[in-house]
Amino acid sequence: MIYLKSEEEIELLRENNLLVSATLAEVGRHIAPGVTTKELDRIAEEFIRSHGAVPAFLGYNGYPASLCVSVNEQVVHGIPSDYALREGDVVSVDCGTFMKGFVGDSAYTFAVGEITPEVQRLLDTTKEALYKGTEQARPGNRVGDISAAVQYCAETAGYSVVRELVGHGLGRKMHEDPEVPNYGARGRGPLLKAGMVICIEPMINMGVKQVVFERDGWTVRTRDRKPSAHYEFAVAITKNGPDVLTDFSVIEQALKK
């Protein structure tokens, strides 16, 4: 069942997603060699609660933390731990909030200190794939138009697209219909209509597309242990086209300071 949101509901979703963006900006300010991923989780939880929301991930299907923090070859769902970040790492931070009956959900991949040009290109391409997919989020298109745009951008750059994990609808629940894969064919899949809110989240690997699910029951990593990148927008589909509810500019401003 795909739920179409009213303008008022989209504004509540925007409020949540702007808080997620602000949280990711706050986390980004603290990302540096020597900082543990558990410390980033503490910073995020305090920030979310201080702004009148609760962490949407904490306790979700038993998940034990407020953030998913996935380092290097970890694709998504990495559990915060005592691992201390190192110069040259890349770290995907996925964050969710719950406030006023609605959910915010977004992710951003950060560089820890100086990273290699090869890894920077992976991050840049994954973010570009996100923007290309978002351009297709308009009424009359289909989910496959988003999926195909993401896949084409990633694969023409020489990267691979994770198949097992997908984007999703967003509303009162974190995962609603429809699923939004990062691969597929134009003109296929559910029809996009004004009032839909979806999360578009490319998960792009430097090496092979195959992944491994770790024994902790959550962490997903690349099979060949090459780096992966992950960015996520919450997007409302309106009669005027895609309305991005996430704000990466606040994250990128924080990183310049």
pLDDT bin (cut points 50, 70, 90) of residue 257 is confident
- Identify the three-state secondary structure at position 98: strand
Residue 1, in any domain of the structure = no
Residue 214, in any domain of the structure = yes
| CATH at residue 249 | 3.90.230.10
pLDDT value of residue 235? 98
pLDDT digits (tens, 9 = 90+) for 19-42: 999 999 999 999 999 999 999 999
Residue 81, in any domain of the structure = yes
pLDDT digits (tens, 9 = 90+) for 201-243: 999 999 999 999 999 999 999 999 999 999 999 999 999 999 9
DSSP state of 175: S
pLDDT value of residue 181? 98
Residue 2, in any domain of the structure = no
Count structural domains, the chain.
1
Q: Average pLDDT, stretch 136-148?
A: 98
Length of the chain (residues): 257
Give residue 23's domain range.
7-256
> DSSP characters for 143-169?
HHHHHHHHHHHHHHTT-EE-SS--EEE
Residue 54, in any domain of the structure = yes
Residue 248, in any domain of the structure = yes
pLDDT digits (tens, 9 = 90+) for 155-182: 999 999 999 999 999 999 999 999 999 9
Residue 168, in any domain of the structure = yes
Distance, CA of 226 to chain centre: 19
pLDDT value of residue 191? 98
- Is residue 69 within 8 Å of 91, Cβ to Cβ? yes
Helix 143-156 and helix 117-135: axis angle, to 10°? 160
Residue 212, in any domain of the structure = yes
